[in-house]
Amino acid sequence: MGQFSINGTFTYLPDPSSYTPDQIVEVGTFTDGAPILQGKESGTLTWDILTPTQYKELYDAWNTNKGNLVSGTLPERSAASLATYDSVTAYYHEPIGRASVANWHNVTMTVTYVSR
């Protein structure tokens, strides 16, 4: 449906409403001033609200690929715009949300070991 993917595209799931990247530790600088970073990118995807069908599609994609480093797409690292997505390989973690009578609210999914 949107640009977000986990080892394939989605039929019903919309793109996340936000992506919050975690900080990568800066351990120094090169002689030209560029930072030396240690570690891999990680972050949190958030959907404000999902229908049961959308949540099931997200959960099933995670469940099929859990524990595996898989290809997909994520918003650009700066998260300044959710309009630009990059191809990545990453570990996608179980989506967590609060279920109500009709929908899932504040669904989050942690993504770790991201390589762009």
The low-confidence residues of the chain, meaning pLDDT below 70, are: 1, 79-81
> Structure tokens of 83?
């309009």
Q: Which amino acid is at 81?
A: S
What's 55's DSSP letter?
H
Q: How far is 7 from 50, CA to CA, in rounded Å?
A: 20
* Structure confidence at residue 45 (pLDDT): 95
* Structure confidence at residue 76 (pLDDT): 86
* Structure confidence at residue 79 (pLDDT): 59
